[in-house]
Structure 1
Amino acid sequence: MHTKDDFLVKPSRSDLLAEANRCVSCGLCLPHCPTYRLTLSEADSPRGRIAMISGAASRRIPMNARFTLHIDRCLTCRACEVVCPNHVAYGRLIDEARVMMTIPPSGLMKGAVAKKRNWFRSLLERVFVDKSKRFDVVRPLMYLFQRIGLQEKLQQLSIVKGTRLGLLLSKLPLIHFPLHRWQETYPAIGRECGEVALFLGCVARLVDIETNISTIYVLNNLGYTVHVPNSQTCCGALYQHSGRIAEAADLIQRNKKAFAGLNIKAIISTASGCGAHLTEFYSQYQTENFSAPIVDINKFLVEQDWSEVKITALPKKVVVHDPCSMRNVLRASSYPYRLLAHIPGIELMELAGNNFCCGAAGTYFLDQPEIAESLLSDKMAALDRAEANYLVTSNIGCLLHFTSGLRDQEKKLEALHPVTLLARQIGIQ
């Protein structure tokens, strides 16, 4: 038997084998896997990856460069889990395989190679992700960096083009609200319905502050006081999906402390990827749960009383993108549609191909840019056919991915979070 702490650092091979052996190789997952549809390689399918994980866990095959290639190509979209008749926990298998890939070669079979950390990604994690408040300091600097044209000039340098830095810069939208500072508490407006807390996330504090500001505005107008703990940090999903579950667990514990002691109904998450990770970590690793339930903003707002809130009509066509974390993990993809239906005159439609990943997948666009761009191009084509005025999506990574695609193709369509569109119709300035 292993302890919880041991498991967070090194998964049990017997547990991995037991879960992998639940796959009966029926192949129902194949047409739902984005990477299999692109490469038509069995090794890039859920069934193939499970077979490789089983082989590595039983020491029948080495975790070499080829093994790493196919595991890393997985988007962790988890569309396969939704259609799996045997309910194989594929997402957990992939995460734990990535943990094994970080183990030094001495702990692996002959021919195995431990995966090396990318220095650029490690630098970003140490400087910003672990200390998310630093994004608040960087925001005005990035705002100035963009406005005087330095970002564009940097992207044109030959030493930057094609690098992870170049890819990252290409995804950055224009920075807004450069001088905004978070308060600890935002009081309800008018009637009082209770208190909630807001999970800000990490990257959103730099590039999507409008969504969190809009969330506070809407909640205040519904009668909720909103707490924003100053000591909160990244949710840890980026660490978990790169095989560093111990670091992810540390961030979870720091966030639990940040939100402890508040008399709140819920901890609101605006990014479905963060919400899915915060929700699942407890059930996966049997750690102590948060002091209040983690609830996606769309779901929370749908369940409120809107009778006293005035919403201006919007006679426009709005196409809705379903993030994989919302559809396949939280199983809550209906809520954005139900929420936006409160806006009079709105025409809602589902983005064609919503059951397939857009290619953002956390930092996937940095690690697998060719596949990420191929998947994004499918979404851009679907948007052309939709002829909509707005695109809404409930995950920060997807929003950045779509925004960069729209900018590259010089499309006038605006991409934003559902709650941002709703806040505008309520009257946010």
Structure 2
Amino acid sequence: MSQTITKNKIIEESNRCVSCGLCLPHCPTYRLLKSEADSPRGRIALMNGVASGRIPLNSKFIQHMDRCLTCRACEAVCPNDVQYGALIDETRHLIGQSKIDNSGRKSFLQDLFLQLLLSHPVRLDYMRRLFYSAQKKSWFRWAGKVKFFADHALFKLILQLPPVRFPLVKINTGEVTVGNQWQRLYPAVGKHRGEVGLFLGCVARLADVRTLNASIAVLNYLGYAVHVPNDQTCCGALHQHRGAINKAGLFAKKNQAAFAGSNIQAIISTASGCATQLLESGVGGDNDRIVDISRFLVFSEGWERIEIAPLAEKILVHDPCSLRNVLEGQRYPYQLLERIPGVQVEPLANNDQCCGAAGTYFIDQPEISGMLLNDKITAIRESGARYLVTSNVGCGMHIANGLYENGIEVEVLHPVTLLARQMGLEL
């Protein structure tokens, strides 16, 4: 895509902004920094100025664009329906096309991680046993004592990965087995109600296998056969938000082809960030079939034959930005959890504000990300709850690591994982 086309897109969409300012109180960076240039309205004005040639594309401009979390809270409240998410992605694409030296913006290790692993997520499947052994032998714990690893955000994330688990191989009534590779098909248990596809994602293949397994098990027990195409790939969100729009488009085409051959009624995602990217990149086709797992389960039949053990606990629910601001599905995790007898389901305080994870934002902008995370940690500590559920793997890892570093013993898990546990399907 040429720079001219990119600039024209930015100008056309940014001209829709009437500078009313209704977005300002909803923007996390504006609330923290009190800078107009770090607000949606200010950034849109800067984008328009650069695209139309009135102001230069320089390091200061790039800094204000990089500080955006892409949480899209502004977009959700915009009275003129300005597509801010598309605007910031196109602008970052423009920055990538520019001749300005911005090589220091992003970590070389991040780029390598994206290229070698997240662009080919099946490689994470092959690395699972290595990470499992490293955790078992406490290699990560020893590495965490080395200052270089402890101070680098990407290495720090790897060192603090949750316990690595293995994919389901087979599930029957009373029998669950696991292995190292995902099966192409997990047949329904009992009455057959339909066929669905499961999107694995990339990071979740290593860091959130528990949720993927739980989703398969719950779906199977409700009567759904689950297809897991082995040629699916990354959703492309991390690339899209770094400005690599063309690369993200290639992932969309691969995923569309991967799920096209299955006779499925829905493509289910366990991570709201992935679901958003799949939805907006057209992976579900004309009759879009992309559905967040909680929403799908809320409307599923077959619950009358499922026994769910009581849990007399307060459950805090964190609303990921992508679930709230784009998918508009934040109510479904609450409704799903209410199937568990005895639970007290409550929203985490200030759920309308980003936790600071935002893809790789916590690595690129650690200071701002840390301030946002601290707000969440304080709210969790004051709640007195023992459980926090969230519907996005990146948010879950970010918050869990913050709790760990603050010595707060609160379990962070996906709502479907907690439900599966109460169904006797802890995997």
**TM-score, normalised to structure 1's length?**
0.92
1:72-83 to 2 correspondences below 5 Å: 72-83=66-77
- Give the residue type in structure 1 aligned to 2:207: V
8 Å contact from structure 2 (residues 236, 247) kept in 1 = yes
Partners in 2 of 1:288 and 1:428 — Cα distance?
A: 29
Alpha-carbon displacement from aligned partner over 1:334-379 (angstroms, at most 9, x marks no partner): 0001111111111100100000000000111111111111111100
2:306 is paired with a residue whose SS is: coil
2:23 to 5, 29, 34: 29
Which residue pairs with 1:54 in the alignment?
Answer: 48
| Cα gap change, 1:65 to 1:15, in 2 (>3 Å) | same
CA contact (8 A) 2:284 2:290 kept: no
Which residue in 2 is equivalent to 1:146? 135
Partner of 2:90: 96
Residues 1:414 and 2:411 aligned together: yes
| Counterpart contact for 1:311–1:425, Cα < 8 Å | yes
Deviation at 1:290, TM superposition (A): 7.1
Specify the alignment match of 1:346 in structure 2.
Answer: 343
1:86 alignment partner, one of 59, 74, 80: 80
What does 1:183-332 correspond to in 2, within 5 Å?
A: 183-282=183-282, 289=285, 293-305=289-301, 306-332=303-329
- Which residue pairs with 2:107 in the alignment? 118
Equivalenced residues, count = 413
CA distance in 1: counterparts of 2:78 and 2:275, whole angstroms: 23
Q: Check conservation: 2:267, 2:291, Cα contact below 8 A.
A: yes
Q: 1:311 to 1:175 in 2, by over 3 A?
A: same
CA contact (8 A) 1:260 1:291 kept: no
Match of 2:166 in 1: 177
CA apart distance, 1:421? 0.4
Say whether residues 1:134 and 2:123 are aligned partners: yes
Superposition deviation, residue 70 in structure 1? 0.8
SS in 2 for 1:411: coil
Cα deviation per residue 1:53-84 (whole Å; 9 max; x = unaligned)? 00110011122111111101100001111111
TM-score, normalising length: structure 2: 0.93
Cα distance, 1:155 vs structure 2: 2.6
Q: Deviations over 1:134-153 (max 9, x none)?
A: 11111111121122222122
Tell me the secondary structure at the aligned position of residue 327 of structure 1. Answer: helix
Report deviation, 1:21: 1.4
Query: Residue 330 of structure 2 aligns with which residue?
Result: 333
Contact 1:155 1:169 in 2 (8 A): no
**CA pair 119-27 structure 1, distance change in 2 beyond 3 A:** same
Segments of structure 2 that go 5 or more residues without pairing to the other structure are: 168-178
Q: Decide whether the 8 Å contact of 2:238 with 2:360 is kept in 1.
A: yes
Whichever residue aligns with residue 177 of structure 1, its letter is F
**SS in structure 1 of the partner of residue 281 of structure 2:** helix
User: Which residue type is aligned with residue 289 of structure 1?
Assistant: G
Letter in 1 for 2:296: F
Measure the CA separation in 1 of the matches of 2:161 and 2:65: 27
**2-side partners of 1:10 and 1:243: how far apart?**
16
% identical aligned pairs: 51
Given that residues 10 and 100 in structure 1 are in contact (C-alpha distance below 8 angstroms), is that contact kept between their aligned partners in structure 2? no
Taking the aligned partners of 2:154 and 2:110, their CA distance within structure 1 comes to 9
Query: In structure 2, what is the Cα distance between the partners aligned to 1:229 and 1:301?
Result: 21
Deviation at 1:173, TM superposition (A): 2.1
Q: How many Å apart are 1:181 and its aligned residue?
A: 2.2
RMSD: 1.8
The residue type paired with residue 299 of structure 2 is E
Contact preservation (8 Å) 2:267, 2:284:
no
Q: Partners of 1:409 and 1:18 in 2: how far apart? A: 46
How far, CA to CA, are the matches of 1:132 and 1:255 in structure 2? 12
CA contact (8 A) 1:365 1:373 kept: yes
CA distance in 1, matches of 2:183, 2:150: 39
Q: Deviations over 1:393-418 (max 9, x none)?
A: 00010010111011111222100000
Q: Distance in 2 between matches of 1:267 and 1:281?
A: 14
Does the 8 Å CA contact 1:199/1:268 hold for their aligned counterparts? yes
- In structure 2, the partner of 1:385 is 382
Secondary structure of the structure 1 residue equivalent to 2:316? strand
Please state how far the C-alpha of 1:12 moved relative to its aligned partner: 3.1
Question: Does the CA contact (< 8 Å) of 2:278 and 2:284 recur in 1?
Answer: no
- Structure 2 residue matching 1:101: 3-state secondary structure: helix
Q: Partners of 1:165 and 1:357 in 2: how far apart?
A: 20
Deviates more, 1:148-157 or 1:29-38: 148-157
- Corresponding residue for 1:166? 155
Structure 1 CA distance for aligned equivalents of residues 414 and 256 of structure 2: 26
Please state whether the residue corresponding to 1:318 is helix, strand or coil: strand
Matched, 1:64 2:44: no
